[in-house]
Structure 1
Amino acid sequence: MNRIRNSAFDRARMNNMTTEDVDLRFADLDAWPLGSAMEAMWEGQLAAVAAIGHALPAITAAAEAAKTALGDHGRIVYVGAGTSGRVAVQDGAELTPTFAWPGKRVRFIVAGGDSAFVTSIEGAEDDVDDAVRQINAARLKPQDVVIAVAASGTTPFTVAGLQKAGSFGAVTIGLANNPGTALLASAKFPILIETGRELIAGSTRMKAGTAQKIVLNLISSGIMLRLGRVYRGMMVNMLPTNAKLKRRAEAMVAKIASCDPPHAARSLEQAGGDIKTAVLLALGVDRSDAEAVLKDCDGNLRRVFAELAADVDDNRERKQSVANKP
């Protein structure tokens, strides 16, 4: 059956669904002066941000597990429907331009398919069979990380997708805005963000959506931090694919290598646009040595500098030892 009827999913929808409840404080929101309504909606956004604080340990645990699993070949897979699916797509789409995360290592499993990225296909959220088909087509492995997002925590497509992903041994992360729901129960790493009633009942594009976007930002950025794709607050894996990004890359090389802009620009050109390699070239490291040490350190620039410093110390000790011989 493509649609679930009278199932556990449907029964769960009747319980713990605060995101669907009318908040009596705002029952007459449409009659308020617009300025007052705007202030109330803004305060709702602030409350959504504050609700994330309690979940930081769970978010951190999920990011750590994801980093450990991904290795050199694992993929980040987002699963969702409706608003939550589109919020997830927004996060995943930014991984390549921000962190040079390979496009083949990110995948979207969204109810309704690619067309749902920009068009609302609400009925698709009940299509459990499609969720299973898409998960099967992804050929998941234990190295893959699946992040499923649903404000309700009961969306049949999303729950079924996460459960199927778990059967392949993938790391499963579930993000929901209602407690005690099937999505959280199905995830190895459940993340509950209790944003409560929406000012406009059921409009989870507001408080719930804001919280989801922030949590996804934290998870994906945390993964990239641990993978060494950030150094001293800079996205050193970024690809300089346009004039603005080229200027940004040159500025990064100049700052990290403490060199002048022309030298940074030459080094970046010699490195074929690779910022980390360019930094080492700007510091006088041979190209082949730069590439070798980056490979040995899994591309982590902080580890590279620690290793180079250790080599300098070793050389200094050897020279001192020779000098001290009678």
Structure 2
Amino acid sequence: MTSEDQGSTRAGLLFGIGAYGLWGAMPVYFLLMKPAGAFEIVGMRIVFSLVFCLLLLGVTRGFGRFRGVLRDRSAVASFALAGALIWVNWTVYVIASTSGRVVDAALGYFINPIVTILLGVVVLRERLRPVQWVAIGVSALAVVVLAVETGSLPWISLALAASFGFYGLVKKRLGRVDAVSGLTLETAWLVPVAIVQLIVVGTTSGLAWGTAGWFPTLMLTSAGIGTAVPLLLFAASTRRLPLSIVGFLQYVAPILQLAIGVAVLHEPMSSARWTGFALVWAALAILVGESVVRSRPRRAAAVPADSAA
């Protein structure tokens, strides 16, 4: 590996850690917006994300790329679906963050890789290896344990995992579109929904933005930057790192969320709950271990070719 490649890899790691670190710290960010409720936070996040993206397109002279995306009817329709899925994800995540359910949110993002594999089977008709089926079975057992412990399904965790899993599936098919143009189009689709949300909140409980003091107003106004910056860091990371390393980095976010929920917000963790998490971690360890083992023959086979070059 050349010094240039090493520098690119180090930058990719820093960008990736920055992206997932910011995503992991989001519960604290949302709590700083109080007394704003979840629907106001999501509405402001959508509106100010669009404003920030439009400014970013202007600064980077990206409107030409954006107009090209608008001419692609299939992409426009797909981004409408992506927008709907990310609205569900954002709404559930903010509700969890502002109602003392951060640990449930962390569980959802731990489960997400398992859901992604299941979507590959159901939607893309992929065939799973036996070890992957074992991991899915262990994860299903974890959900059962948590359901018995709470008396109901962990709907926040499952909703987050499913919405982000489907969102990733849609975005995978739109890989030709750059991150800023994609986020701009997604949020543009959602702005009418956001306006309705903000009107309803304003006419019922009242908006915190502009009325609850300068700090909550500042936090709500910064929601566009808080949404776009991690996404841009993530895009920069994926351009510099192998997908396998990015896959490892994704666990930074739920680890931080779990730490915030338990150590900072003091959410209750019963023995049954820890058992459920342990089973999910075991399933992830199975997947990661199997992936590492399968990659070794490919790396070994690549050594003679690299040496001969």
- More strand by proportion, 1 or 2? 1
Which one scores higher on RCO, CA 8 angstroms, separation ≥ 6?
2
- More helix by proportion, 1 or 2? 2
Structure 1 or 2, whichever has the larger Rg, is 1
TM-score (norm: length of structure 2) = 0.24
